[in-house]
Amino acid sequence: MTTFEGGFTAVYNPRQILDHPEFRVLQPGEKPSSSANIAAFYNPAHEIHLVEKPRPKPGPGQVLVHVRATGICGSDVHFWKHGAIGPMIVTDECGSGHESAGEILEVGEGVTQWKVGDRVAMENGVPCSQPSCDACRIGRYNGCPNVVFFSTPPFHGTLTRWHLHPAQWLHRLPDNVSFEEGSLCEPLAVALAGIERSGLRLGDPIVICGAGPIGLVSLLGARAAGAEPIVITDLFQSRLDFAKKLVPGVRTVLISRNLSPKEQAEVIKQTAEVPLKVALECTGVESSIHTSIYSMEFGAKVFIIGVGKSEQNFPFMHLSANEIDVSFQYRYANQYPKAIRLISGGLIDVKPLVTHRFKLEEAVSAFHVAADPTQGAIKVQILD
């Protein structure tokens, strides 16, 4: 039982908010009609294609959102290309996209907090919200065992024109925050959750490993949080150049495949010039995690946001003898309001992360650009 704002209560099963199950795959070259509810789906045959679906009707406690901006996440590409992330396996057609913002088109029964035309960022991991669920009850709802995460199989994503959403999992966008910025609140929420739980404090010297979208939003967040100095690493100079443009004061280290993690850590330490208190690890790659661990001072924290191989080795004795804590982040909880405030207040500027823009009808091309490293994409946005 969930109480919606305004006192309306409903038995609330997030699985019932699944988008309309009917869809038709468009043939290659077939033009979708301009009034259709189109979406980009991936499937177990590693195809990505447009589909047409009916326009859904909001039920009690739901709203219909016209999705205006969606960013492509590495996990969308991964589900398409590799068919699984850990235990989440693509067994059927599945809608992509979970970094979205839009405009409310219709409100369902009992929805009092939203009206048609309101601009919102969509929080796309919808937990069960049942009092019997410990994770939900204590506010660590990213750990809800019954979470519906749109775009993670079997739940269709928000890369679509019209999407049904539970009213209480939307966040109002102030006038000075665009739909694109609203959609970028999703990767930013990942970084903010990690930074919050890493215990990072004003003036802390840190290293960020990996300068992909997650490393870069972590860089923006860490800079806003007052970390200094900040060292960022990557295997590619182009990504480090991007980081330097984004935050000119950042120090960069190009990772060499010829150096061991210990040797690499020495380069990071020399670049930092002061002992490092925190690592925000944003690759999930074993060698990079080792490098981050060897870069740390006694009592430091290695905070792992990246995800990678199911089983990995750890430099156990180095961790133990240096009391280095290792922690992990899984998605986020309670970060959207903060992300929106930081963007609206001008403390974090996510706009430069968008390198490519496509129309919804061009979503398949957008995926090909996002998946091709030679295109130099950081964040590909799909706008409608």
Site for Zn ion, rule CB under 5 A? 73, 75, 127-128, 133, 136, 144
Nearest-CA neighbor of 365 among 354, 352, 380?
380
Residue 382 backbone dihedrals phi, psi, to 5 degrees: -115, 125
Residue 71 backbone dihedrals phi, psi, to 5 degrees: -95, 145
Site string for ligand SST, 170-189 (x = CB under 6 A): ----------------x---
Q: Residue 127 binds which one of ligand SST, ligand NAD, Zn ion, none, with CB within 5 to 8 A depending on kind?
A: Zn ion
Please say which residue, 276 or 282, places its beta carbon nearer to ligand NAD. 282
Sorted by sequence, the CB contacts under 8 Å of residue 44 that are 6+ apart come out as 83, 90, 91, 92
3-state DSSP assignment of residue 135: helix
Please say which residue, 88 or 319, places its beta carbon nearer to ligand SST. 88
Please say which residue, 251 or 331, places its beta carbon nearer to ligand SST. 331
- 97 exposure class (CB count in 10 Å sphere: 0-12, 13-18, 19+): buried
Going by DSSP bridges, is the β-strand pair 62-71/99-107 parallel, antiparallel, or unpaired? Answer: antiparallel
- What are the C-alpha distances in Å from 173 to residues 115, 232, 340, 342? 13, 31, 7, 12
Contact flag: residue 190 with ligand SST (CB under 6 A): yes
Q: Residue 247 binds which one of ligand SST, ligand NAD, Zn ion, none, with CB within 5 to 8 A depending on kind?
A: none
Q: How far is the CB of 187 from Zn ion (least distance, A)?
A: 6
Contact flag: residue 331 with ligand SST (CB under 6 A): yes
The residues that touch ligand NAD, with contacts defined as CB under 6 A, are 74-75, 190, 209-215, 233-236, 239, 255, 282-285, 287-288, 305-308, 329-331
Q: Within 10 Å of residue 49's Cβ, how many Cβ atoms?
A: 18
Q: What's the CA gap between 280 and 265, in Å, rounded?
A: 14
Q: How far is the CB of 381 from ligand NAD (least distance, A)?
A: 14
Sorted by sequence, the CB contacts under 8 Å of residue 254 that are 6+ apart come out as 233, 234, 235, 236, 237, 240
Please say which residue, 8 or 236, places its beta carbon nearer to ligand NAD. 236
Pull the structure tokens for residue 163.
């999407």
Nearest-CA neighbor of 374 among 348, 352, 353, 356?
356
Q: Residue 136 binds which one of ligand SST, ligand NAD, Zn ion, none, with CB within 5 to 8 A depending on kind?
A: Zn ion
Q: Residue 283 binds which one of Zn ion, ligand SST, ligand NAD, none, with CB within 5 to 8 A depending on kind?
A: ligand NAD
Residue with tokens 């939003």: 217
Q: What's the CA gap between 6 and 111, in Å, rounded?
A: 8
Q: How far is the CB of 216 from ligand NAD (least distance, A)?
A: 7
Q: Residue 329 binds which one of ligand SST, Zn ion, ligand NAD, none, with CB within 5 to 8 A depending on kind?
A: ligand NAD
CB contact at 8 A, 265 and 244: no
Q: What's the CA gap between 105 and 114, in Å, rounded?
A: 10
Please say which residue, 205 or 210, places its beta carbon nearer to ligand NAD. 210
Q: How far is the CB of 190 from ligand SST (least distance, A)?
A: 5
Please say which residue, 20 or 140, places its beta carbon nearer to Zn ion. 140
Contact flag: residue 340 with ligand SST (CB under 6 A): no
Going by DSSP bridges, is the β-strand pair 62-71/162-166 parallel, antiparallel, or unpaired? Answer: antiparallel
Buried b (16+ CB within 10 A) or exposed e, 372-382: eeeeebbbbbb
Please say which residue, 85 or 369, places its beta carbon nearer to Zn ion. 85
Site string for ligand SST, 68-87 (x = CB under 6 A): -----x-x---------x--
Q: How far is the CB of 121 from ligand NAD (least distance, A)?
A: 16
Which residue number is nearest to ligand NAD in terms of Cβ?
212
Q: How far is the CB of 77 from ligand SST (least distance, A)?
A: 10
3-state DSSP assignment of residue 319: helix
196 pairs with which residues across the strands?
A: none
Q: Residue 36 binds which one of Zn ion, ligand SST, ligand NAD, none, with CB within 5 to 8 A depending on kind?
A: none
Q: Could you list the residues that contact ligand SST (CB under 6 A)?
A: 73, 75, 85, 149, 152, 186, 190, 331
